[in-house]
Amino acid sequence: MGITGAQHFLTLDDRALRDQCSVDHYRASGPGGQKRNKTSSAVRLRHHPTGLSATASDDRSQHVNLVRALRRLREAIALHARGAFDPGTYRPSETLVSCLQDGNIRISRRDPRYYCVLAEVLDVLAGCEARVSDAARALAISTGHLIKFLEADPKAWQRVNELRAEAGQKPLR
């Protein structure tokens, strides 16, 4: 399986990903003192190829907010931009294989490869009509281990249940 869908965007460095976006700087509202009300430190990124956007206004620093917005954009891309999946030709990517240990997907959410792995897992799940057992078989892990990986990230868990609803499946609990 080549790099498709989200994988292409998630493998870009921050500068290349930012170059695909409209970047808006604006004044954030709320607490934070006078500096927050006088400077345009909040950042909004609009990713043109996917139509997704992300914002950050947590910090007084525009640079810190840009880094956070890029991380949030990567998360949005991993969760919502689906790549093509052919069950007949699918083979786990080198990135995913490098994260498999004892039949588990072991990767920290702080690892820069996390969103690539998450996107691939969601691509496989979506390609299997959100059937966890079929996706686990394609990924060469147990159903329990796949559920454990997805459960660890609340946004991923929510997205899985959205995919299941779209496919007419019951939500996972």
pLDDT digits (tens, 9 = 90+) for 119-156: 999 999 999 999 999 999 999 999 999 999 999 999 99
Sequence-ordered alpha helix ranges (H) in 108-153: 114-127, 132-139, 143-151
The tokens 């979506």 sit on which residue? 126
pLDDT at 37 over 80: no
Structure tokens at 79: 């969760």
Q: Which pLDDT does position 4 carry in this prediction?
A: 54
Residues found in the chain: 173
Instruction: Read off the pLDDT band of 31 (50, 70, 90).
Output: low
Instruction: Read off the pLDDT band of 83 (50, 70, 90).
Output: confident
For 171, what's the count of Cα atoms within 13 Å in the CB-facing half-sphere?
Answer: 8
Would you say 147 and 171 are in contact if contact means Cβ atoms under 8 Å apart? no
Domains of the chain, by residue range, sit at 6-73, 94-166
The pTM assigned to this predicted structure is: 0.88
Q: Which fold has domain 6-73?
A: Double Stranded RNA Binding Domain (3.30.160)
pLDDT at 29 over 90: no
Determine the straight-line distance between the first and last CA of the chain, rounded to whole angstroms.
31
